[in-house]
Amino acid sequence: MFQSFLTKLIANKPAFIGALIVLAMFIISWLAPVLSPHDPSAISVAQRLRPPGTQGHLLGTDSLGRDILSRMIWGSRVSLKVGFVAVGLSTLIGLILGALSGYHGGLVDAAIMRFCDLMLCFPSMFLILAVIAILEPSIWNVMAVIGLTSWMGVARLVRAEILSLKNRDFALAAKVLGASDLRIICRHLLPNAMGPILVTATLGVAGAILTESSLSFLGLGVQPPTPTWGSILSEGKNYLHRAWWLSLYPGLAILITVLSYNLLGEGLREALSPHSNRRY
């Protein structure tokens, strides 16, 4: 089964390319201290706004003379950390609430789904901006707020999967044998629902990275001196005519990373679908 899944994923060229880029991003962020040619926070007024390729600065420098390549490499750590921690939190909340809602039904289902509908009524970005404006902007607050405001889709998906699985023979047999509700949910239902959840989580990482970059661009994300792609992009808007590289490189990094996770997510959806016979 795993071999069939892997064969489908590799055969899907866009998904395979996306997976390679995602893997490359992991390696780059992990080896940031080794790959970074300069200290990302080192200021040199004499080197300010140097174009790409000047005096050992492959991607140029910013208005304070800091090396853009080094800041981009270290910024990848922030983006990946926020993406995975925020999605991990939202997926955990969605799993718990969705499983309880789908398995128990009745008043529990109604209460959880109405709360989910209430959360969906608020535009997520405005809700995030409001909470971040009240709290002190930091990487932990950003991760927590993104995770706590993006669990609704996972909860609805898990609920739908549990509703379709809980009356299957294997679940009814476990119940007849005296298994507890917690054991049935964790041991029998959720493992059979992990395919769609994995796809949703992969796509959610792309959304979390984009949200973090947007918050950093607005100055409400991770605060200086920690480099982030959004903050580099925000500085670049003040120098569009003099230093185009300040906007181009972080913009491309965000675009390529988000696109890669979307391609990988779509590839996982195709590979995990039992009815997929698509040729690539």
**Per-residue pLDDT, 140:** 87
**Per-residue pLDDT, 277:** 53
What amino acid is encoded at 96 in this protein? I
106 Rama class: left (phi>0) / alpha (psi -120 to 50) / beta: left
Report residues of the chain scoring pLDDT below 50: 279-280
At 191-210, the pLDDT tens digits run 888 888 988 999 999 999 99
Q: pTM for the whole thing?
A: 0.86
Can you read off the two tokens belonging to residue 253? 């990094």
Own/partner pairs for 107-113, CB < 8 Å, 24+ apart?
A: 109/159, 112/155, 112/159, 113/156, 113/159
* Residue 12 domain-assigned (yes or no): yes
Looking at the structure of the chain, the number of domains it has is 1
56 CB-near residues (< 8 Å, 6+ apart) = 37, 38
Identify the CATH number of the domain in which residue 32 sits: 1.10.3720.10
Containing structural domain, residue 166? 2-40+62-272
Distance, in Å, from the CA atom of 5 to the CA atom of 30, rounded to the nearest integer, reads: 27
**Per-residue pLDDT, 88:** 93
* Residue 277 domain-assigned (yes or no): no
**Per-residue pLDDT, 280:** 44
* Residue 47 domain-assigned (yes or no): no
> Residue 225: is the preceding peptide bond cis (ω within 30°)?
yes
**Per-residue pLDDT, 276:** 53
* Residue 50 domain-assigned (yes or no): no
Buried b (16+ CB within 10 A) or exposed e, 18-32: bbebbeebeebbeeb
* Residue 51 domain-assigned (yes or no): no
Q: Which helix (H) or strand (E) holds 72?
A: helix 68-104
Q: Which candidate, 188, 185, 112, 183, places its Cα nearest to that of 154? A: 112
Distance, in Å, from the CA atom of 42 to the CA atom of 44, rounded to the nearest integer, reads: 7
